[in-house]
Amino acid sequence: FINKNKKHSNNLPSGPTQIPFIGNLHQIKGSLHTCLHDLSKKHGPMMLLRLGVVRMVVITSSEGAEEVLKTHDLECCTRPTTIALKTFSRNGNDIGSGVYGETWRELRKLSVREFFSVKKVQSFKYVREEECDLLVKKLKESALKQSPVNLSKTLFCLTGSIVSRTAFGQSFFENKHIGEERVEELMLEAHKNMSLKFTDLFPTGGLGWFLDVVDTFLDHIIDDHQSKSFTQDRPDLIDTVLEMIHKQEDNESFKLTIDHLKGISTNIYLAGVDTSAITMIWAMAELVRNPRVMKKVQDEIRTCIGSKQKERLAEEEIDKLQYLKLVVKETLRLHPPAPLLLPRETMSQIKIQGYDIPPKILLLINAWSIGRDPKYWKDPEEFTPERFIDSPVDYRGKSFEFLPFGSGRRICPGMASAIATIELGLLNLLYYFEWSLPEEKKHMDMEEAGVVTVVKKIPLELIPSLHQ
Ligand code: HEM
């Protein structure tokens, strides 16, 4: 092992001292992205670490991130870092962890065309509006009773229903295959499993019932679609892919299978439910602890929509709400749900920021750290949506100081769908209700938890009051 390390050690970035066997594991306490952030302050924006058997270079500068994501995209593959992700990905038969090659290209192209395109996202507007309407009705009951609402759970359920209806044609809450008590667990468990800690460094496996439930759910959904026991007005992703599987010719070089369909579906569920809910949860937490911003965004919404209260909000209202959009951007800057993006692995020797990085090294880009770098952001810890007024900095992958959705060929394909859900979800929460902390809570706790995706550790509990 030492010889192998020496062979490549000529021009590698430096990093904290490693100790035998565990490397730098003893220095990782709490969240991985914050530990790496703290270490990089001491050891620089390119840092070499070893966690157990995994060697990695951590990048915490916008310039380094740009070089990797623009120049070296071809020489890196994304790497399923945990046993959990490997299992979810069905051995690379998916988009999130598939190695570059024909399969990955075909699956990404297919899912963008059939699910992620702006046209498809717009066609699901009615689902988002209906689900938000249901949410408002439930919240109104709590508002009348003045009882605290667990917004973390509520928002996971909202995004779960939206993703499930848009991708699989049915809501988790209406499906007959999983007991209702399991559905809520399933939503919350998705997050816990995405945050498994270091399972490939010291593999433990054992994901228990969660994987079984996801698998059983998908099996039933596919069976229902195949047997036509389930019909709806418009074909969903499952219908489209099943039709493609049936129609493909024997001589085609790429063969689409049920495993691919399950891989894409699992990716969409895991990547979609968690991230959008997390963003809304952090946005609400920041707004409650920043009353000035809360007032400004609610004033904008209520002025634009008019004084007569609407029964139900349409997605078009959002076009007029510039400040709400800035609130979403600022939330994604301070709380990117996937703070280390998808880990890349070098496939050949490459040069980054003057260093020689050998093949088979994990590259982690700390988007969380870059989003708080005082070099690019004034008062970076402050929640100030105004910083984006007249600024060309955007989350679409061209501004390397702001990378909540990543960049390059692996950029999040679900961006349009996520933004539509987040903006409409927040619009509904902020238009109909005033929000306050329960009396016994004196201040908003902002502690984070998770590795792949990072959520507010203590669930967000707030009391809604009806806005008159
Ligand atoms: C606020 C919401 C979201 C955020 C912040 C987010 C963030 C990300 C990030 C950082 C990546 C990795 C990009 C990279 O490493 O360059 C990613 C990939 C991905 N996201 Fe999202 N995402 C969100 C919502 C969604 C939604 C709603 C879906 C699906 C419905 C989705 C599906 C995916 C998929 C399939 C990938 C893998 C793409 C690939 O490897 O080619 N995401 N996302």
Q: In this structure, is residue 12 part of a structural domain? A: no
Q: Is the ipTM of this complex over 0.85?
A: yes
Q: In this structure, is residue 347 part of a structural domain? A: no
CATH code for the domain in which residue 101 is found: 1.10.630.10
Give the residue, 349 or 296, on which the prediction is more confident: 296
Q: In this structure, is residue 362 part of a structural domain? A: no
CA distance linking residue 194 with residue 190, whole number of Å: 6
CA distance linking residue 72 with residue 365, whole number of Å: 13
pLDDT per residue as tens digits for the range 237-293: 888 888 888 888 777 778 888 888 888 888 888 888 889 999 999 999 999 999 999
The answer to whether the CB of 337 is under 6 A from ligand 1 is yes
The answer to whether the CB of 283 is under 6 A from ligand 1 is no
Q: In this structure, is residue 104 part of a structural domain? A: yes
CA angle 186–159–389, rounded 5-degree value: 140
Structural domain boundaries enclosing 424? 85-335+379-466
CA distance linking residue 182 with residue 72, whole number of Å: 43
Check the annotation: does 304 bind a ligand. Answer: no
Number of domains composing the chain: 1
Q: In this structure, is residue 71 part of a structural domain? A: no
Q: In this structure, is residue 75 part of a structural domain? A: no
Q: What is the pTM of this model?
A: 0.91
The answer to whether residue 338 scores a pLDDT higher than 60 is yes
Q: In this structure, is residue 19 part of a structural domain? A: no
pLDDT per residue as tens digits for the range 440-462: 888 899 999 877 788 898 999 99
Tokens encoding 42: 């001491």
Q: In this structure, is residue 199 part of a structural domain? A: yes
Q: Say which residue the tokens 């007032």 belong to.
A: 295
For residue 465, the SS3 value is strand
Q: What integer best gives the mean pLDDT of the chain?
A: 85
pLDDT per residue as tens digits for the range 139-181: 999 999 999 999 998 998 899 889 989 988 877 666 666 665 6
Closest ligand 1 atom to 159 CA: 27
The answer to whether residue 94 scores a pLDDT higher than 80 is no
- Given a contact cutoff of 8 angstroms between Cβ atoms, the answer to whether 279 and 328 are in contact is yes
Closest ligand 1 atom to 115 CA: 30
Least confident of 230-234, 302-306, 442-446: 230-234
Q: Tell me the sheet residues that pair with 48.
A: 57
Residues listed for the chain = 468
Q: Kindly state the percentage of the chain with pLDDT values over 70.
A: 83
Tell me the best of 103, 115, 168, 412 to mutate to test the pocket of ligand 1, counting ligand atoms within 8 Å of each CB and taking the most: 412
CA–centroid distance, residue 440 to ligand 1 (Å): 37
